[in-house]
């Protein structure tokens, strides 16, 4: 696990110094505090920060082949590198190190872009061919590792984090299109970023780039669901065996490996399987001192049942405000998912004792774990009615008062899936964004992103369609983005055994009735884990790391939020008076019926916390990256005076 930055000259004679490259690399020191390295010639400059995990002594980067033609910088882990090396050696390849990086390089020399199909793991890498003066870059199939790029007239830049690219541009210009999407999705959908011109290489893609020629990007992998009729027992057996194998290869490391542990089946499954391999496994969890918002006790019970050494930490609202600007700085783009907060703190605690952790991301998308995936089952009695009848029912329901029981059920049942589901989280509707934004653009309606995805899975059932949407949006834009940045903020490598191509292959074969039922989610995964996962977890509903935002924004964090909104220099973008009014409405726990376009009016609740949080997170992002209020560097800046000022409003 590491970080890289580099550039290719788009024009011969374009001026760039090693100092410029070092500034790009220094800002991501947190990704690799153990070592650094540089390579440059008249065409390319590459820089690297290393977190030493495998072949600690010899895994220095940038790494070249024996004759110096090819140079690579690589962020991630290739879990089948031992098997790949043996095959390559049998074909005559010789290796100078024991690193997985050199295996990628040897494989590329033999197979060029087709090498990506042999890699089992998480990766983002760039390979430079000195002879042809060509760059090749690739990102793993699920998007576990980040890959940013920026092209100007003079240079083509690449980096593990956007902040490296920002170090090479004069001024960050806000992407208005990305802002509108963020307010709906609570993250910036790929390939955009919140900064104009900075792009993300999408998962399952690679590129070729030659000086002075256009960037050429290709897709090499995409998730395809192929349900087959097979015995449930056999599929459950396959799931168990493949997960055991995936966890085993994900534990390959020359440094200690731990695991995150919440109160759900995903992390418990991974921890239980890891404990079979390492009896001395350590696990970590965090919670909040608020009833109903902590899984500390459940995780402790699980650890005791599994006989695992377990560590817990309770987070205070004061700590959240103190660390929030740094959290958002690490995220690069704003992500309004409050789960980033506990993830940041649990990574901090784990990093004090281990260098690698296993985590349960991806299980919900592969095996049908989100509660919303059960919605098609509950709506089928109305959604299967003739279209004409549904139109009449919807018209009637729209005229009913919000308080009428069943109104929302009728509306959702009469609304096509592609209109009501755009991913696991959905915040602002278009009408609500018109009220909030001063520069609303109707051509940026969120449906332009999901409609093409629905067209790719028209023949599948609704649950599989929802999974497909989440794999292309929510998983890569939210789940994996915060997992990478919050762990790397503390120089901790996070590995996700569920997101393995072999595990996906069996998950893709499951029919919907093996994923969700009226009683549960992840049905077959739970069956497969019987005897491995403790009984008190096996059928426990999903909770994760919940955050008491609703309570905080009414009490401890109300003054802080009010002050942040007033001080924010986002008047040119947002209707701040409207935001303040909604903050007051939330504190009073009521709906302001005088507001024509009311936030969450369709949900019939006065809880505006998630909507407010999205605005607050964006305002802090704006302070960090546009206003440059904090001046964060790779060094620890938690004592920054501006942060102390914000903490003063908590209480």
Binding site for ATP, by residue number, is 286, 359-360
Could you tell me the maximum CA-CA distance found in the chain, to the nearest angstrom? 76
**Whether residue 269 lies in the annotated active site:** no
Among 417, 419, 518, 508, CA closest to 462: 417
Picking from 539, 509, 543, 542, the residue whose alpha carbon sits closest to that of residue 527 is 539
Alpha carbons 41 and 12: distance in angstroms, whole number: 12
DSSP 8-state code for residue 427: -
Is residue 627 within 8 Å of 573, Cβ to Cβ? Answer: no
Q: Across the strands, what pairs with 483?
A: none
Helices of type H across 283-353? 296-306, 317-331, 340-351
DSSP H helices in 138-202: 162-166, 176-185
Where do the DSSP E strands lie in 321-463? 356-358
Q: CA dist 160 to 72, 165, 166, 206, 487, Å?
A: 14, 9, 12, 15, 14
Q: What share of the chain is helix, strand, coil (3-state, %, to 5)?
A: 45, 15, 40
Contacts of 540 (CB under 8 A, 6+ apart): 263, 264, 265, 298
CB 207 within 8 A of CB 104: no
Residue 8 near residue 209, CB atoms below 8 Å:
yes
Count CB neighbours of 129 within 10 A. 18
Buried b (16+ CB within 10 A) or exposed e, 176-192: bbbbbbbbbbbbbbbeb
CA-nearest of 581, 618, 2, 17 to 333 is: 618
Annotated binding site: which residue ranges? 100, 286, 359-360
Gyration radius of the chain's alpha carbons = 25
Annotated binding residues for L-glutamine, as ranges? Answer: 100
Alpha-carbon distance of 403 to 406, in angstroms, equals 9
Which residues in 351-461 belong to E strands, given as ranges? 356-358
Q: Is 149 exposed, middle or buried (0-12, 13-18, 19+ CB in 10 A)?
A: buried
Active-site residue, from 1, 2, 265, 274: 2
Do 294 and 545 form a contact (C-beta atoms < 8 A)?
no
Phi and psi at residue 37, in whole multiples of 5°? -160, 160
HSE-CB of 578 using CA atoms within 13 angstroms: 20
Residue count of the chain, please give it: 651
Torsion angle, alpha carbons of 363, 367, 369, 373, to 10? 140
Please check whether residue 34 is in contact with residue 14, taking contact to mean a CB–CB distance below 8 angstroms.
no
Q: Which residues are catalytic?
A: 2
């Amino acid at each position: 696990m590491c970080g890289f930055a580099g550039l290719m000259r788009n024009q011969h004679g374009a001026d760039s110094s090693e100092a410029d490259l070092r500034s790009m690399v220094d800002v991501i020191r947190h990704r690799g505090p153990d070592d650094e390295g540089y390579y440059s010639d008249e065409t390319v400059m590459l820089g690297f920060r290393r977190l030493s995990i495998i072949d600690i002594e010899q895994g220095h980067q940038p790494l070249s082949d024996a004759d110096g033609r090819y140079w690579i910088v690589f962020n991630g882990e290739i879990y089948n590198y031992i098997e790949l090396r043996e095959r390559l050696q049998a074909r005559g390849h010789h290796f100078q190190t024991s690193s997985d990086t050199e295996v990628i390089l040897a494989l590329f020399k033999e197979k060029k872009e087709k090498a990506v199909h042999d890699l089992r793991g998480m990766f983002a890498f760039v390979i430079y061919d000195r002879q042809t003066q060509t760059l090749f870059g690739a990102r793993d199939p699920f998007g576990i590792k980040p890959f940013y790029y920026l092209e100007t007239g003079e240079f083509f830049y690449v980096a593990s984090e956007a902040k490296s690219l920002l170090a090479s541009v004069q001024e960050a210009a806000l992407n208005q299109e990305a802002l509108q999407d963020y307010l709906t999705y609570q993250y910036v959908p790929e390939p955009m970023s919140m900064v104009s011109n900075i792009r993300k290489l999408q998962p399952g893609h690679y590129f070729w780039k030659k000086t002075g020629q256009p960037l050429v990007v290709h897709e090499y992998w995409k998730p395809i669901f192929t349900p087959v009729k097979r015995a449930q027992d056999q599929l459950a057996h396959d799931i168990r065996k493949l997960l055991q194998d995936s966890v085993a290869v994900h534990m390959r490391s020359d440094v200690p490996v731990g695991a995150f542990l919440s109160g759900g089946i995903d992390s418990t499954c991974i921890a239980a399987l890891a404990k079979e391999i390492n009896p001395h496994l350590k696990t970590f969890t965090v919670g909040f001192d608020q009833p109903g918002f902590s899984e500390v006790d459940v995780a402790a019970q699980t650890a005791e049942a599994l006989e695992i050494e377990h560590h817990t930490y309770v987070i205070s609202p004061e700590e959240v405000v103190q660390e929030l600007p740094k959290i958002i700085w690490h995220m690069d783009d704003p992500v309004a998912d409050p789960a980033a907060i506990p993830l940041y703190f649990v990574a901090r605690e784990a990093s004090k004792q281990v260098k690698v952790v296993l985590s349960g991301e991806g299980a919900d998308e592969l095996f049908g774990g989100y509660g919303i995936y059960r919605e098609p089952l509950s709506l089928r009695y109305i959604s299967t009615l003739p279209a004409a009848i549904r139109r009449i029912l919807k018209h009637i329901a729209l005229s009913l008062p919000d308080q009428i029981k069943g109104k929302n059920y009728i509306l959702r049942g009469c609304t096509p899936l592609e209109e009501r589901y755009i991913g696991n989280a959905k915040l602002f509707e278009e009408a609500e964004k018109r009220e909030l934004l001063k520069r609303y653009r109707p051509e940026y309606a969120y449906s332009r992103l999901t409609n093409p995805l629905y067209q790719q899975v028209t023949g599948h059932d609704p649950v599989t369609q929802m999974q497909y949407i989440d794999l292309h949006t929510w998983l890569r834009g939210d789940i994996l983005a915060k997992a990478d940045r919050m762990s790397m903020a503390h120089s901790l490598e996070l590995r996700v055994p569920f997101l393995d191509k072999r595990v996906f292959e069996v998950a893709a074969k499951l029919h919907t009735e093996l994923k969700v039922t009226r009683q549960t989610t992840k049905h077959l995964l739970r069956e497969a884990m019987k005897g491995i996962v403790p009984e008190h977890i096996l059928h426990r509903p999903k909770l994760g790391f919940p955050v008491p935002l609703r309570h905080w924004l009414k009490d401890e964090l109300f003054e802080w939020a009010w002050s942040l909104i007033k001080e924010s220099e986002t008047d040119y973008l947002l209707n701040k008076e409207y935001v303040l009014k909604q903050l007051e409405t939330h504190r009073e726990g009521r709906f302001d019926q005088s507001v024509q376009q009311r936030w969450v009016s369709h949900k019939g609740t006065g809880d505006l916390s998630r909507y407010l949080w999205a605005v607050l997170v964006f305002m802090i992002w704006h302070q960090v990256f546009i206003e440059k209020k904090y001046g964060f560097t790779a060094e620890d800046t938690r004592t920054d005076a501006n942060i102390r000022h914000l903490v003063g409003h908590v209480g």
